[in-house]
A and B are shown apart, each in its own frame.
Chain A
Amino acid sequence: MENIIEVHDLAYQYPDADQRAALDGVSFDVHPGEWLAIVGHNGSGKSTLAKALDGLLPFTQGTVTVGGVVLSPETVWQVRAQIGMIFQNPDNQFVGATVEDDVAFGLENRQVPRDQMLTRVAAALDRVGMTKFANRAPSSLSGGQKQRVALAGIVAMAPKILILDEATSMLDPQGRQAMLALVKELHREQQLTVISITHDIDEAASANRILVIDDGHLIEENVPAAIFAQGERLMDLGLDVPFTAKLAAALQQRGITPPTGYQTTQEMEEWLWQSLSNTSATPTKPTHP
């Protein structure tokens, strides 16, 4: 299967900086319809990478190929037309005077006919639960409302590739789940390729594969279960430790030995109630009468 994104030996250094390169020799591929999570500590280069993919950075080393098009100043619009991006700060994203105009903007750019545009905008606002706010100025929305509107822009545009840069960081717990569920639906229904930059372990768990960036380098690449099995070290990678691992560590401190390796919530719960209902022993330990 052909890759939808290919990144080869990408490097970038911000202009003024006597700092180190923000990206250094990064290479990876993304398959069509894949869900890829990118994680890493603050300042590791995640947003820089996202901007590079969207043709927003004049990188001088390496190549980026999106849908068969090699990114260059000449092809940047061809590349951008395939990508819907939600920025880390939604304020950097809004261009319309009203929420409705803003969601329509991407469609106007793509010369979608007006009647079609109106239905698509209305449907998108409905899917993110922001219909009531169609005529409001984006700047007057609450933080979470802004993030919902940013997602509506993507829903309306229906791009091939979606890049989410911490797009759910200001949503309430259920809102976050609802927006994640919406992205999952799009991913399924439209074979959308998803790249999600996140510190949220649930969001990372939704991915087929996780890339770990550290100080501009790609240091690891694996399926979520393998990444999550690293326990306490996950903190260094810019991810939270899964709850089951935190609980396992707390139990260990109290003289109880849980099964080794990454446990899903369900596996951990099952092991616990079975151990508790077994009055003489735990399944992992032989009894010493």
Chain B
Amino acid sequence: MVVAITFEHVGYTYQADTPLATPALDDVSLTVPDHGYLAVIGHTGSGKSTLIQQLNALLKPTTGQLTVDEFTITPTTTNADLKPLRQHVGMVFQFPESQLFEETIQKDIAFGPQNFGMAETDALALADQMLTQVGLDASYAQRSPFELSGGQMRRVAIAGVLAMHPQVLVLDEPTAGLDPQGRQEMMALFDRLHRERGLTIVLVTHQMEDVAQYAEQVAVMRQGKLVKEGTPQEIFGDPDWLRANQLDVPRAAQFAQDLTAHGVTWPQGLPLTASALADQLAAQWPKGGAAHV
């Protein structure tokens, strides 16, 4: 297995060496294969955002180290040589406002590519193209990114990151505030980039449906520690454990579990999505009912 990301005993403390020191990561070790799709889930305040901000060295480990493809980040990594890393690892932050700053939306999206050497006209053209990809029409190009609704700002932030063509895409609750249609479209877009362009994806989310549908690997955080890691099937296969950790199973799994109480069985394993659930129900449907539709 070619590895894209390795955390080696990473610890992180906010305001370390001050009276306000707050430990937020504790001895996290984890690997994500090249072209992998990792979902990070966990209770509010468990350390998810802190963990993923290590990936582009926005926060640097207090102890331990990590590697992202050819980059190594240690407690002593300096800011001087981070530009190639920041181009390699694109990050959509939890609060999109925090990453918007230009006077027009078009310039905002074009900023990254230009910063990494693309000619202005090309970057502006790319910005227009990205805008449509995230569901906003050309009329938005010249507007201020701050005069937008919450969901529109989120879309612009996503467009700005995608415009840099990163190889690793880090998404911190990228669909919070998006309407369900937009959520579906964005998740499908990330998935296409993953499958067709081989992007490695790290997704922080509270949407268990999205974890079930898209992730290949799931990491569960609790109080700064990585407490469980596995495939979605493995993680969601233990609903009681998840609930004890403030988490939940996807709707379909919950639904299937309720049916289990009435004697329905799941020979293919607990279904995690509506279509997997429908498959298994159809397979055991009484013949007379299904045949004449």
Cβ of B288 < 8 Å from any Cβ of A? Answer: yes
The answer to whether B182 and A42 have CB atoms under 8 Å apart is yes
If A89-B150, A235-B180, A269-B255 touch, whether A276 touches B247 (CB-CB below 8 Å) is: no
If A43-B151, A251-B278, A287-B288 touch, whether A143 touches B173 (CB-CB below 8 Å) is: yes
Q: Which of B42-50, B54-62, B107-115 is the contact stretch? A: B42-50
Cβ of B82 < 8 Å from any Cβ of A? Answer: no
The answer to whether B248 and A174 have CB atoms under 8 Å apart is yes
Per-residue B-contact encoding for A90-121, CB less than 8 Å = 1, 0 else: 01000000000000000000000000000000
Cβ of B284 < 8 Å from any Cβ of A? Answer: yes
Q: Which of A89, A172, A269, A275 sits near B42, CB closer than 8 Å?
A: A172
If A276-B284, A281-B289 touch, whether A170 touches B97 (CB-CB below 8 Å) is: no
The answer to whether A174 and B45 have CB atoms under 8 Å apart is no
| Chain B: minimal CB distance from A194 (Å) | 20
| Chain A: minimal CB distance from B277 (Å) | 6
Cβ of A181 < 8 Å from any Cβ of B? Answer: no
- Of residues 275 through 289 on chain A, the ones whose CB sits less than 8 Å from some CB of chain B are 275-282, 285, 287-289
The answer to whether B278 and A243 have CB atoms under 8 Å apart is no
Cβ of B116 < 8 Å from any Cβ of A? Answer: no
| Chain B: minimal CB distance from A239 (Å) | 6
If A43-B149, A256-B281 touch, whether A199 touches B289 (CB-CB below 8 Å) is: no
Cβ of B1 < 8 Å from any Cβ of A? Answer: no
The answer to whether B152 and A42 have CB atoms under 8 Å apart is yes
The answer to whether B264 and A273 have CB atoms under 8 Å apart is yes
Cβ of A145 < 8 Å from any Cβ of B? Answer: yes
Q: Which of A16, A142, A174, A282 sits near B49, CB closer than 8 Å?
A: A142
Cβ of B80 < 8 Å from any Cβ of A? Answer: no
**Residues of chain A lying within 8 A (CB to CB) of residue B42:** 172
Known: A172-B44, A280-B288. 11 other contacts (CB 8 A): A42-B151, A42-B178, A169-B177, A170-B176, A174-B243, A175-B43, A175-B44, A243-B255, A247-B255, A250-B277, A269-B259
Q: Using a CB–CB distance below 8 Å, which chain A residues touch chain B?
A: 14, 16-17, 19, 40-44, 46-47, 88-89, 91, 140-145, 148, 166, 169-176, 199, 234-236, 238-241, 243, 246-247, 250-251, 253-257, 265, 268-269, 272-273, 275-282, 285, 287-289
